[in-house]
Chains A and B, each alone.
Chain A
């Protein structure tokens, strides 16, 4: 079974630009979560999508947005990029419902975004 795939792996953008990151979850997984990882702040939850609906949202400004498609693939978008947005963005997928064996999340390798 293929794992979680994130594209692209690396991105360099200029301040003020926008960026779109993509995540393909494990087949059959309906929940996709996004996290921002930085050395200073650790792993910060951005949002979670389940069956094309945003189910949870972290404390990030409105410049950060996402969506999920009917095939469970997800994208996140960051507009008006700032230097502080430089980070590793991680996507995780899970089946998305309660149940003893099915609650862990599986992570992609991440997209390293550098804003210059």
Chain B
């Protein structure tokens, strides 16, 4: 069975500092991995994905994520946080071995960037 864990409910960072939002996953096969962001009263917006190849994936708004197969992690990072990055972030996984597999989301991490 697929699962995703986001161990931190909330992450607080000062503007201009680097940020990391953690994610670990579990799938029976090889994963597709995703990060989404949600602003208040909105749907989820796609940020980036890992499919194959380079373990460091770059996405929208200056975000990047590093795939680590041995640690089954896919942490989201940004070198310099902006106040506008404050939002709810979701990590998600899909088992690539089946076209019928569903996307499973983590519980979300609220990112708060203070000026």
From A90, A97, A100, A101, B99 is in contact (CB under 8 Å) with A97
Q: Is the CB of B45 within 8 A of A45?
A: no
Q: Is the CB of A42 within 8 A of B105?
A: yes
Q: How far is the CB of A42 from chain B (nearest CB, A)?
A: 4
The residues of B that contact A45 with a CB separation of less than 8 Å are 102-105
Q: Is the CB of B46 within 8 A of A104?
A: yes
Q: Is the CB of B103 within 8 A of A105?
A: yes
The residues of B that contact A56 with a CB separation of less than 8 Å are 100-102
From A6, A33, A112, B103 is in contact (CB under 8 Å) with A33
Query: Given the interface contacts A97-B99, A105-B103, does A43 sit within 8 Å of B51 by beta carbon?
Result: no
Q: Is the CB of A104 within 8 A of B34?
A: yes
Query: Given the interface contacts A43-B90, A45-B102, A55-B100, does A90 sit within 8 Å of B51 by beta carbon?
Result: no
Nearest B-chain residue to A41, judged by Cβ? B107
- Chain B interface size band reads 20 to 34
User: B55 within 8 Å of A by Cβ?
Assistant: no
Nearest B-chain residue to A105, judged by Cβ? B103
- How far apart are the CA atoms of A13 and B105 in the complex, in Å? 28
Q: Is the CB of A107 within 8 A of B43?
A: yes
Q: How far is the CB of A7 from chain B (nearest CB, A)?
A: 13
User: A106 within 8 Å of B by Cβ?
Assistant: yes
Q: How far is the CB of A113 from chain B (nearest CB, A)?
A: 13
- Which residues of B pack against A, CB within 8 Å? 32, 34, 36, 41-46, 49, 51-52, 90, 94, 96, 98-108
